[in-house]
Amino acid sequence: MKTKAKILVIDDEQGIREMLSYALSQQGYEIIAAMNGKEGIKKVTEKKFDVVISDIKMPGMDGVTVLGEIKKINPEIEVIMATGYGTMETVIESLRKGAFDYVNKPFNIDEVVIVIEKALEKSQFKETIVLYELSKAVFSTIKLEELLKVIIDSTMKVLIADDASLMLFDDNGKLFIAVSYGLSEEIQKQTRLTVGERVAGWVAKKEQPILLIDGLKNDERFKGIEPREDIKSSLVLPLKGKAGLLGVLNINRKNIPEHFTENDLHKANIFVSLVTLSLENANLYKKIEMVQEQYIRQAKLASIGELASGLAHEIGNPLQAILGNVDLLLMDNKSEELLAIKDASLRTKNIIDNLLDFSRQKEMKFAVVDINNIIDKTFLLYGKQLKFKNIEVIRNYQKNLPNIKLSPSHIEQIFLNLIINAQHAMPNGGIITVTTAIMPNEKKSITISFKDTGIGISKENVKRIFEPFFTTHKNGTGLGLSVSFGIIKQHNGEISVQSEGEGKGAEFIIKLPITSTL
């Protein structure tokens, strides 16, 4: 036999119970016996059985009644009726009410085993159908937000759980709850685990699924971890993709009487393989969308280069003449009108200068450097201004990062731009948190994160943040982030932004390759 099925034998005759239990255990089945219908039903509520063999004629509660109660508790359990001669009408009634088959007394063990195996085959076929339906469900969408909901709903349905959560990696390499069922919103928002921390972190580190019975009480691997007293059993599984670990799936039973079994773990492993593949597809779709957006941005930036050279000639020279004449007039008459003309002219000149800086594509001088030192150097330039504005800087640097090849002056320019933007977003002070790390699932690049506690960015503006001339600042040119985007692309890197909305801060994430063909 491939799997060890758990079978419940219900019969009021001790001799039959003992004989059947012994004979079937010799065939490799796990047998539990009950002396009457009431005890049998109690055991079904306490444990998970693959097959039940019940006598039809028993005192107190007959087999047909037992069958009905078992089907109420778990419709998926296959029930085989045991009958003596002269009870065929009752057998037919039990078959109508959902019994799988019947066996005659006295028992022929070979015949009983054949019926049991057919019942198990039917159960496995039903599970295959369920998994097929699940595969259709999880591959029905490639949009990540929709997919996460489908995954968690399917998890609850297939594995019959009280709560479940799917954890993915954030840009700081920590596991966060991307979607859950049965957990409070507060727990979902606050939970952040490092690899190796608690059960989910252990599974992420070892990349091995685990089955927990009675929580963490008797498991030496998790000694010292505060257990959740409400959990009776758990399945925790890693989501291992082609490019590395994507996350962890946690599934718990609290009020459901049956513990998870090795069979449940096997089923969950199959399910997780489907989930992982669907997540990889969704991530690939997201990357394709990003590439499309980047091509559009690059086309816009190329157009700006052509525009800039024309502006320098057609507007730049007349503008210098205007500024020169305004300065002469101001020597005799410092009127508000003349000052306004000068201010507007200087602003126009600033825009043209920025455009020219961008269009010239200054030659980059690459060097192999420590990225943490580059960040420190940038803060050294601007630290006093931040302190004056009541802005605290928190630095979470990963130690011993490999040096990377980049253009220090250009990368400093980007970091300075992000710091100044963060300062503008926190007029009343706040916190800038800078993090550097190599993500567990992206070991070929270093991730740098600038996160502030400022006014945040709306969803609409997040989509446009790197567009040329797009700005929310009164005196901004809208070119700083566009230029930053172009510089990062020249480094074969990526830059993105995240914000939960206005009033909730923003986070700019840069990924630079550790090895480069630059």
> What domain range is 127 assigned to?
6-134
Same-domain status, 110 and 55: yes
- pLDDT for 63 beyond 50: yes
| Distance separating alpha carbons of residues 401 and 187, to the nearest angstrom | 32
- pLDDT for 357 beyond 90: no
Same-domain status, 149 and 50: no
Structural domain ending residue among the three candidates 260, 279, 298:
279
In a domain? residue 153: yes
- pLDDT for 448 beyond 90: yes
166-180: per-residue pLDDT in tens?
Answer: 999 987 888 999 999
The distance in angstroms from the start CA to the end CA of the chain is 59
| Distance separating alpha carbons of residues 352 and 476, to the nearest angstrom | 13
Same-domain status, 478 and 391: yes
pLDDT, mean over the chain: 84
177-214: per-residue pLDDT in tens?
Answer: 999 998 888 888 889 999 989 999 999 999 999 998 87
Same-domain status, 443 and 508: yes
Task: Give the residue with greater pLDDT, 250 vs 325.
Answer: 250
- The pLDDT > 70 percentage for the chain reads 85
| Distance separating alpha carbons of residues 501 and 491, to the nearest angstrom | 29
pLDDT at 393: 95
pLDDT at 247: 92
pLDDT at 204: 92
In a domain? residue 313: no
- pLDDT for 476 beyond 80: no
Please tell me the number of Cα atoms within 13 Å of 46 on its side-chain side.
Answer: 9
CATH at 55:
3.40.50.2300
Averaged pLDDT for residues 329-346: 81
In a domain? residue 310: no
- Encoded tokens for 309: 């050279």
Averaged pLDDT for residues 284-290: 71
Same-domain status, 368 and 412: yes
In a domain? residue 291: no
Q: How many CB atoms lie within 10 A of CB 384?
A: 9
Where residue 302 falls among pLDDT bands split at 50, 70, 90?
low
- pLDDT for 311 beyond 70: no
Where residue 344 falls among pLDDT bands split at 50, 70, 90?
confident
User: How are strands ordered across the β-sheet holding 430-439?
Assistant: 391-397, 430-439, 442-452, 506-513, 494-498
Crossing angle of the two packed helices 144-159 and 109-138, in degrees rounded to 10: 160
In a domain? residue 298: no
Same-domain status, 152 and 262: yes
Please tell me the number of Cα atoms within 13 Å of 229 on its side-chain side.
Answer: 0
| Distance separating alpha carbons of residues 133 and 135, to the nearest angstrom | 5
Structural domain ending residue among the three candidates 134, 163, 180:
134
Cα Rg of the chain, angstroms: 34
**For residues 242 and 280, is the Cβ–Cβ distance under 8 A?**
yes
- The pLDDT > 90 percentage for the chain reads 33
Eight-state DSSP code of residue 166:
E
97-143: per-residue pLDDT in tens?
Answer: 889 999 988 888 999 999 999 998 888 787 777 667 667 766 667 67
pLDDT at 1: 41
Same-domain status, 250 and 385: no
**CB burial class (10 A; 0-12, 13-18, 19+) of residue 174?**
buried
Task: Give the residue with greater pLDDT, 309 vs 9.
Answer: 9
- pLDDT for 296 beyond 70: no
- pTM across the whole model: 0.50
In a domain? residue 98: yes
pLDDT at 221: 81
Structural domain ending residue among the three candidates 134, 159, 187:
134
In a domain? residue 372: yes
How many residues are listed for the chain in this entry? Answer: 518
Same-domain status, 116 and 149: no
Distance, C-alpha 327 to centroid of its chain:
60
21-42: per-residue pLDDT in tens?
Answer: 999 999 989 999 999 999 999 8
Same-domain status, 102 and 180: no
Same-domain status, 148 and 41: no
Same-domain status, 128 and 144: no
- pLDDT for 14 beyond 70: yes
CATH at 167:
3.30.450.40
Averaged pLDDT for residues 264-281: 85
- Encoded tokens for 218: 């008797």
CATH at 511:
3.30.565.10
Averaged pLDDT for residues 319-348: 80
Bridge partners of residue 80, in order along the sequence: 53, 101
Residue for token pair 């941005």 = 297
Averaged pLDDT for residues 72-77: 83
| Distance separating alpha carbons of residues 102 and 94, to the nearest angstrom | 9
- Encoded tokens for 255: 């009020």
In a domain? residue 514: yes
**For residues 209 and 229, is the Cβ–Cβ distance under 8 A?**
no
β pairing state of 30-34 and 506-513:
unpaired
Whether cis (ω within 30° of 0) applies to the bond prior to 227 is no
Q: How many CB atoms lie within 10 A of CB 280?
A: 15
Smallest Cα–Cα separation from 439: which of 450, 427, 449?
449
Bridge partners of residue 447, in order along the sequence: 437, 511
Same-domain status, 211 and 116: no
Sequence-ordered list of residues with C-beta below 8 angstroms from that of 37, at least 6 positions apart, any chain: 10, 54, 58, 60, 61, 62, 63, 65, 66, 69
Where residue 356 falls among pLDDT bands split at 50, 70, 90?
low
Bridge partners of residue 256, in order along the sequence: none
pLDDT at 517: 45
Residue for token pair 């937000």 = 145
The total of structural domains in the chain comes to 3
